[in-house]
Structure 1
């Protein structure tokens, strides 16, 4: 049975791992570095998590659960205060970094995010002809803000991954989401144009694919 000090050490290790995984990537953060940052021995880290992969699994699980908790608070209260909780910034950056490594675990995490988004969407009055695409694209747009941290930092002249730049980033996103960028007429015209394009492709039995960004 774990003592209170064991549980505290486990949390310190997890928090240190999330910080280093975010900063250096999974491959760049060593067991020794994480243990040192947490103020524990490498042996104690292995006692709690077994290996770096086991530690990463625990970090992923905790981060996703915490984000889900914040999302649930938003759904139940209708306010977004929880979405900008003090730990939200660090967790968002960690999850994006985890997704960037292209691993099956990262893909599974995004799928879990989409599934939770679909559950959230079902509780709202938002209208969409394709709920899964709606939440998947919305999730990718939100994560893109953190993926492009360096570019946004250069454009705004301050680090958007730290305070107060992060607040400036979130404020801008709130202003964007709080008001429509298209009139109902413009949106309707665009949707009809998409429908016509889709019908023409079906009629020609053709297909179009977005060009790959790969250099291969």
Structure 2
């Protein structure tokens, strides 16, 4: 059985500010738990490999399930201290790639060519490209072998401008997900702020916000098990 690859951020702060950010913990743990319960092995990769910071705000939105996985030595090692670097990844080993969010990804996901190559390879092999919340930043510049944006002419979702405003981050983020996705020809869908919502279009599965990680995971498992 092929594995599942989760992409996490190395970014510590919002741009040039001292405001800390990083991985939104639940977006990794909730997705990973669903895939592992379905029998899949999960690996973690980051743009630079190694240490992955946690967004301190994400710790305010934990529950027993999130904390249970966060407490495991396996998760702490694979996801937070010794995440893989892109050059250690063979796309042929994976059935899907999942871009977890947290605001930090807006700085180190969009222009990372090695990660784009991994995702494009997984997709070309018949695999799935998935994301949640700000993780859509990792999908923006992935291109197909024909040179087209992968998300062009596809329905996608991600963290919305309304949600950025509610989070108080609209003035510090480098872009808005909907605007950038639509520039690349995607059809951006959205629902009420901070409600679970996931969209599937062919082999692209995306979730709107932190409360959508489980929905993305469930959709991916359904697709993988149907093959």
Using the size of structure 1 for normalisation, the TM-score is 0.29
Structure of larger gyration radius? 1
| Greater relative CO, 1 or 2 (CA 8 Å, sep 6+) | 2
Structure having the larger proportion of residues in helix: 1
Using the size of structure 2 for normalisation, the TM-score is 0.28
